[in-house]
Amino acid sequence: MLFSVGKECGECGRYYKSKMSVNSEIRCSHCGKESAEIPDIQKIFNACPFCQTKQFYRRKDFNQLLGCSFVLVGALLVPFTYGLSLPVLILIDWLIYRRVSDMAVCYSCGAEFIDISSIPDNIIGFDHHTAELYE
């Protein structure tokens, strides 16, 4: 089963992402200094392969800049459409939200585990208090 792992390298600071399979190694594609062994999918969420943190959060695998641009376009069109642009864009946003899959993100190092079909139910959405513990 293939899935993707994306992370900002702790050594060079550049983002890298690659398709993985279980029991394989991921390495920074820019400097090659940071690496981790990706275990069986069930063990990924026991501890992060990069930093050994046990806490993850769930979020949608969607470009946040694109989502913000929807809101901006809707707000700019309000005077010309008498407010009808907002419900239309809310509907479009809701349809996209329903179709986009979830991903799991490590609170400590920010590693993103994408295209994993079986994210455990105990991994919930982002919690500000938990994030503050890791800052």
| pLDDT tens digit sequence for 53-96 | 999 999 998 888 888 888 888 889 999 998 888 888 888 888 98
**Residues above pLDDT 70, as percent of the chain:** 99
94 and 105 share one domain? no
| Residues facing 26 on adjacent strands | 36
Amino acid identity for residue 26 in this structure = I
pLDDT > 70? residue 1: no
Structural domain containing residue 94: 62-100
56 and 25 share one domain? yes
92 and 111 share one domain? no
Which has the closest alpha carbon to 13: 78, 123, 109? Answer: 109
2 and 66 share one domain? no
Measured CA to CA, the distance from residue 113 to residue 59 in angstroms comes to 10
pLDDT score, position 106: 93
pLDDT per position as a tens digit, 94-133: 898 899 999 999 999 999 988 887 888 889 999 999 999 9
pLDDT per position as a tens digit, 9-37: 888 889 988 887 777 888 888 888 888 88
2 and 43 share one domain? yes
The structural domain count of the chain equals 2
Q: What is the mean pLDDT of the chain?
A: 87
Alpha-carbon distances of 77 from 65, 82, 83, 85, 105, rounded to whole Å: 18, 8, 8, 6, 34
3 and 37 share one domain? yes
pLDDT > 80? residue 39: no
pTM of the predicted model as reported, rounded to 2 decimal places: 0.81
